[in-house]
Amino acid sequence: MPSRDPINWMWAEACQLLNQAERLQRQFFRLDYPRGARVAWQPPVDVFEDEREFVVVVALPGVSPGNAEAKIDGRTLLIRAMRRVSLQDRHCSIERLEIPHGYFERRLVLPQIRLELDSQQWSDGCLVLTIRKMR
């Protein structure tokens, strides 16, 4: 029976863990490359509509209100922000890192009607945007 070489065994285990981490990363968020931007992730959004307005809820856990921007550019709602790793200043090792971090841009195509970004609020880690339909 052949003996196990500890170096080859550890290397194989490390490669297997890296592959598993990449699969998890692809499962939880999609990497995207917006024009002229650094690598970005896209947060999930919910969109609600009634006769007067749209309400867009963007899940942004750990993003500070000062680090987020939302604007309407033509028919596109553009949301961008930066999410930093929450404990990056502490001297600790990372045991698990599943919540996406870094720069992102999210673009949503809007209907061809006049719209105005009416309000931006933060609620439970989400940016809530109200977009009024102009008559």
Structure tokens at 103: 């720069």
Residue 99 domain flag? yes
In a domain, 48, yes or no: yes
Specify the pTM: 0.67
Give how many domains the chain has, as a whole number. Answer: 1
Q: Is residue 17 part of a domain?
A: no
**pLDDT by residue, tens only, the chain of 135 residues:** 455 677 777 888 888 888 777 666 655 544 444 455 555 678 899 999 999 999 999 999 888 888 899 999 888 999 998 887 766 667 777 787 777 878 888 899 999 899 999 999 999 999 999 999 987
Report if residue 16 sits inside a domain: no
CATH number at residue 127: 2.60.40.790
| 76 in any annotated domain | yes
> Would you say 45 and 108 are in contact if contact means Cβ atoms under 8 Å apart?
yes
68 in a structural domain: yes
C-alpha torsion sign, points 57, 101, 25, 97: negative
CB 78 within 8 A of CB 105: yes
Residue 21 lies in a domain: no
Q: Which domain holds residue 125?
A: 30-133
Q: Establish if 87 belongs to a structural domain.
A: yes
* Cα distance from N-terminal residue to C-terminal residue, the chain: 81
